A and B are shown apart, each in its own frame.
Chain A
């Protein structure tokens, strides 16, 4: 009952020219609700690919993926969008805020999409929690990297998703900012009871997670 994610014999292959590259091989994985997991592994081992599969942003070549007991590998693009919209928040290494939207608008976007009553107000409350009160109406270009990532986190968690996916969230940040971001993330999942799957190279950050998964050559070790 407590299962959030279930991956059964999941394979991912990429076709480059005539060659088939096997990126993920027979992945089996079960995660529970409220669990925090860190994924570590060498560059090119398939960490990002795994996150993309879980987030429904890439289709598995074979195997089954269940999210909350629903088999998402069978669903249409739009239905996956629907699940992602409600349940999954994603944080990227390079932040990716919409450049001509202010901080508040970037966060409000997901809230609005999930039909929140007062998206701007909620967005402001969140940003305030993350110490960005004085940056509400700044465009991403006017924010520092750390600030941008805080806005991106706010965007990902605004609709209180069941699962947060993060791909090297601190990879583009200095130590000070990295610490701040990790504190915010872990504090948040503790308070809201969300689950977190995070790819990171940062050992300290990886150790903060309850469970650590190591990937090598497309296989879970």
Chain B
């Protein structure tokens, strides 16, 4: 492609590239701006992702709370074994549970289901607890009935320091407010929680299941000890204990890391779209730039430059430009980190700092390099068409994009590399590939649309309206910007509309489950003897309340077909949660209405003295379980074998009572159990939480609306971020369009001049660009809506597995606002050419 004679030639070309670049950069401002914006977004995503992951890795021990975690889940565990560990390491005990907290001494007291963490003096083994005022943290250890609450809880219940609150039926003084704790990973990240001293547990009545008890022992090795040896030693100590789960720093926050990877994969795809749209503009601007330099290129050829070297000269200018822009984009992405930090530290208590990574810089440069190359090859190859002999003839033909077989092959090859770069190593390669596929299909369709419009308008010969004629002429003229406008606007609008539709569908799905299907309250922790009391109390407050109450036991899967599942099922399995810790299970005589059996039979009544298990079909598929497999369950310390007898289709999203495992009632009725209830009130106001707590102090109440509000507010934040980033594609599309108009400017100016001479009024010129815009925009928006509907439907139904619905309002709203902005931009850019100065134009022509 490019022939180089020797290194001194290369040096010469480089020198001229620098010189030309320093004089030309103003003419390619739109390339600079679009390239900068898209590289900046990409840099910001990479930088934030890396900084977050680094924070998580650096603080793996803090997040875990120690060098190792011994998790006994619901049980206090085997203290003998714990004591053995204490002989060579520091052990801190921590118990988490959930219970009701209520305000006192108010006109209208409020209560909330809250997670409380009790810790001993050794906590935290790593990291720091940030709280105020001074000394508060020491007080919860020394003084009984004191508690620290987090900031969110102060807001939710409007509690101040020194106020007295009720935890179950005990009074506690709030002695301070916690800002952050180091070990967020095992703890509730978003939401309300409190910290208390270890003596708290004895004061409260905590029953098994309803309080979601969790016993953990965090271990810190002595400074000089070899961590690996000690890890082995501890493993050895607990090797015969089935109930224990050991965790290491490297598994801390694995869920969070996955979310981050998924999210950043998605955002990178959006930013590469922006970049490809920018590429369309780059190709266009570059072509006009080279046309502008037509004569200089011919002169260079005349004095003996090789065509290859001249092309190299332009490539080099582009890469000098890219290099500078990448540096700027990468460095300025660091400015975004503090903003992201603020967002994240509010919710997660994570503090991220920008980290410089040469690899990231290279990756961003490479992406920019590939995009530039792909879009500049057909443009720069046009240089071959410039002939030095033109200098004798005084004519300079307008260059066109030049596609040879070779250059097309190279472009496709480079494009494949680009796609691979974003696909390989991403969390979900198939989705990335699908995304690229959809992107290019859209690109091609919009390109064909532009050709179709031009073709069909050419067929229509003449109208009586002169403005209409002029606009049709504008759209169909040889060097019209119609294809560029349609492609860049079309892709941007499609992306934005798709995301908007997904977003609104998502929100609607969440919101709609509140009034219809879902109950108002979940009640956990109703003891065996409290069932009647519970039902009576509810009905006495609201006689028309509908109550669903089911028995519940807690059990852990110890073995599947005789093998410990933890030895072969890893945490990245979608159904790991089933074996990860103890699960709550229930039993039922009849098949639950919304849980149809899809394989196997309901209970085998001939085997009433044996445990039979009905399993969630998705779990069965994930864990590769067949009918007839045997689970060994640990139920209250007893190991019981049960046979898998059927699979049910469970939809957890309906927020009614759902269990992964159901047992045959004939067997399970004898197991010690408690109850779980859901209630839908006829009139929610009649229900009084505080009074309910007086009757059943250990009852846990979860108000569905509160819970959903929290989820919705998190989703809202995510949605805003996503919309902001995808708007970038529109912005880039608009810059591409306006630069295309500028490129066309000289022709436009001349055209307007002719109009002026012919007595065509300014009003008519404006009117004709309005018609031009309307023809283009309506066709674009129709196709974009079509794609957005298909795309969002696919995403909602196949990726999120939720219901999809058409939302006209959002489409109209977004479509109109994008249209308005585009129109304004087009009119403003055209305004420049509306008042042509006659003299210079005539002289030049």
Contacts and interface: CB of A to CB of B under 8 A. Distances in A.
Nearest to B304: A85
Nearest to B388: A57
B305 A81 contact: yes
A78 B389 contact: no
Contact of A92 (B8, B12, B296, B392): B392
A143 interface: no
Contacts of A105: 19
Interface stretch (A18-26, A107-115, A129-137, A190-198): A107-115
Chain B contact residues, majority secondary structure: helix
Contacts of B299: 96-98
Interface in A16-53: 48, 51-52
B8 A86 contact: no
Nearest to A85: B304
Contacts of B24: 100
B304 A84 contact: yes
B394 A94 contact: yes
Interface residues of A, number: 30
A46 B387 CA distance: 18
B29 interface: no
B392 A81 contact: no
Contact of B12 (A58, A97, A112): A112
Given A82-B304, A113-B305, A100 B23 contact: yes
B296 A52 contact: no
A82 B9 CA distance: 12
A46 B16 CA distance: 36
A77 B386 CA distance: 13
A141 interface: no
Interface string B1-13: 0010000100010
Given A81-B301, A113-B304, A48 B393 contact: yes
A155 interface: yes
B295 A96 contact: yes
A100 B20 CA distance: 8
A51 B3 contact: no
Given A90-B302, A98-B299, A112-B12, A77 B392 contact: no
Interface in A71-85: 77-78, 81-82, 84-85
B387 A81 contact: no
Contacts of A162: none
A96 B8 CA distance: 27
A19 B302 CA distance: 29
Interface string B42-59: 000000000000000000
A92 B307 CA distance: 20
Interface in B299-317: 299-308
A110 B304 contact: yes
B304 A48 contact: no
A94 B392 CA distance: 8
Interface in B351-377: none
Contacts of A93: 392, 394
A45 B186 CA distance: 92
Given A94-B394, A96-B299, A115-B8, A52 B389 contact: yes
- Central interface residue in B15, B20, B295, B392, by most chain A CB within 10 Å: B392
How many chain B residues sit at the interface, stated as a range, is 20 to 34
Nearest to A86: B304
A155 B299 CA distance: 11
A147 interface: no
B302 A98 contact: no
Contacts of B300: 98, 109
Contacts of A112: 12, 15-16
A166 B393 CA distance: 13
Nearest to A114: B304
B298 A85 contact: no
B304 A81 contact: yes
Contact of A78 (B12, B296, B306): B306
B561 to A, nearest CB: 74
Contacts of B8: 115
A84 B300 CA distance: 11
A57 B389 contact: yes
- Central interface residue in B296, B302, B389, B394, by most chain A CB within 10 Å: B302
Nearest to A110: B303
A15 B290 CA distance: 27
Contacts of B430: none
Contacts of A94: 391, 394
A28 B749 CA distance: 50
A77 to B, nearest CB: 7
A55 B391 CA distance: 12
A113 B391 contact: no
- Central interface residue in B19, B296, B298, B304, by most chain A CB within 10 Å: B304
Contacts of A109: 300, 303
Contacts of B295: 96, 98-99
A55 B392 CA distance: 11
B844 to A, nearest CB: 13
B610 to A, nearest CB: 88
Contacts of B12: 112-113, 115
A84 B306 CA distance: 11
- Central interface residue in B23, B295, B298, B389, by most chain A CB within 10 Å: B389
Nearest to B292: A99
B392 A51 contact: yes
Contacts of A86: 304
Contact of A85 (B3, B20, B303, B387): B303
A82 B16 CA distance: 18
B392 A99 contact: no
B532 to A, nearest CB: 93
B304 A155 contact: no
Given A57-B387, A100-B24, A113-B305, A48 B296 contact: no
A58 B389 contact: yes
A140 to B, nearest CB: 11
Nearest to B27: A100
Nearest to A168: B392
Contact of A77 (B20, B307, B391): B307
Contact of B298 (A58, A78, A96): A96
Interface in A101-130: 105, 109-110, 112-113, 115
A116 to B, nearest CB: 11
A28 B532 CA distance: 121
B311 to A, nearest CB: 12
A48 B23 CA distance: 33
Interface string B516-545: 000000000000000000000000000000
- Central interface residue in A81, A92, A99, A113, by most chain B CB within 10 Å: A81
Contacts of A113: 12, 303-305
A97 B388 CA distance: 13
16 contacts: A52-B389, A57-B387, A78-B307, A81-B304, A82-B304, A84-B303, A93-B392, A96-B391, A98-B296, A99-B295, A100-B23, A109-B303, A112-B16, A113-B12, A115-B12, A155-B303
The 10 A-B residue pairs with the shortest CB-CB distance, nearest first, are A85-B304, A57-B389, A98-B296, A84-B304, A100-B23, A48-B392, A57-B388, A110-B303, A78-B306, A52-B389
Interface of A: 48, 51-52, 55, 57-58, 77-78, 81-82, 84-86, 90, 92-94, 96-100, 105, 109-110, 112-113, 115, 155, 167
Interface of B: 3, 8, 12, 15-16, 19-20, 23-24, 295-296, 298-308, 387-389, 391-394
Given A52-B389, A84-B304, 5 more contacts: A57-B302, A57-B389, A58-B389, A81-B305, A100-B23
